Amino acid sequence: MERFAPTARTTLKRLPKRAEYDRERVYAILDEAFICHVGFVADHHPVVIPTGYGRIGDVLYIHGSAASRMLRTLGEGVDVCVTVTLVDGLVLARSAFHHSFNYRSVVVFGRARLVTDRDEKMAALRAFTEHVIAGRWDEVREPNDTELKATTVLALPLEEASAKIRTGPPIDDDADHALPVWAGVLPLHLANGEPITDEQLRPGIRLSQSVREYRRPRQNGK
């Protein structure tokens, strides 16, 4: 399997056994999550912004208003750190100290470039939509020229990245195993509920296939 080459920024110093550099596993986490947090420095101050994203191959795309300070700053080629986290369970130990989470996370470092090519920009917008719900792009109106002009898209090459993953039961001290306290893992997952119809929907419009067939968890597997 193709792997990311560990760098000084992606090599785990603490609990290195939880590090994962396999591209397929890193991409699976990116494809399952919805929101990333984008960290950068603007006007000499650290800033972290949550936002949606999409992936096409080895490129991560983020987008927003053309007036966005984040996108304007990143478009200048500053260093950026993008993180994604999925929480899979609460790890409940016998001691408060050893409580933890089972999780899958990804950290990406790099510099983003402004997307100016119309075809690439439209492909990125399609990726954003399909990342949220597969099949939706073909059911809706595509962005028009005014909307494209009002939207900034940035491309971040996936070249320097790693995942960190925790699985399994709590790790208690041997002396605590005799305590009369329940210990184990409480699994967590994101689940979709029943669709709620827009009150302004015209009569006779049936539930879209993309919504009707949507299930969690899912991985787009682009």
Helices (H), 8-48: 23-32
Q: Is the pLDDT of residue 80 over 90?
A: yes
Q: Is the pLDDT of residue 220 over 50?
A: no
Higher pLDDT, 147 or 17: 147
**Residue keyed to tokens 């787009």:** 220
Write down the pLDDT at residue 52.
94
Question: In the chain, at which residue ranges do the beta strands (DSSP E only) sit?
Answer: 19-20, 35-42, 45-52, 54-56, 59-65, 79-92, 100-111, 113-114, 151-157, 160-166, 184-187
Highest-confidence segment of 5-9, 102-106, 146-150, 212-216: 102-106
- Structural domain boundaries of the chain? 16-171+183-212
Cα 156 to Cα 85, 124, 176, 181: the distances in Å are: 18, 12, 46, 47
Q: Is the pLDDT of residue 66 over 80?
A: no
Fold of 16-171+183-212: Pnp Oxidase; Chain A (2.30.110)
Is residue 78 a contact partner of residue 111, using CB atoms and an 8 Å limit?
yes
The region of weakest confidence among 8-12, 89-93, 168-172, 214-218 is 214-218
Q: What is the mean pLDDT of the chain?
A: 92
Rounded mean pLDDT, 32-50: 91
Q: CA-to-CA distance for 213 and 208, rounded, in angstroms?
A: 9
Q: Is the pLDDT of residue 76 over 90?
A: no
**Residue keyed to tokens 């302004």:** 200
Cα 5 to Cα 35, 56, 139: the distances in Å are: 25, 20, 40
- Identity at 114, one-letter amino acid code: L
Q: Is the pLDDT of residue 218 over 60?
A: no
For 110-157, write each residue's pLDDT tens digit: 999 999 999 999 999 999 999 999 999 999 999 999 999 999 999 999
Q: CA-to-CA distance for 217 and 108, rounded, in angstroms?
A: 23
Q: Return the ∠ at Cα 85 (arms to 188 and 47), rounded to 5°.
A: 140
Q: CA-to-CA distance for 31 and 222, rounded, in angstroms?
A: 8
Write down the pLDDT at residue 185.
98
Write down the pLDDT at residue 42.
83
Grade residue 1 by pLDDT with cuts at 50, 70 and 90.
Answer: low
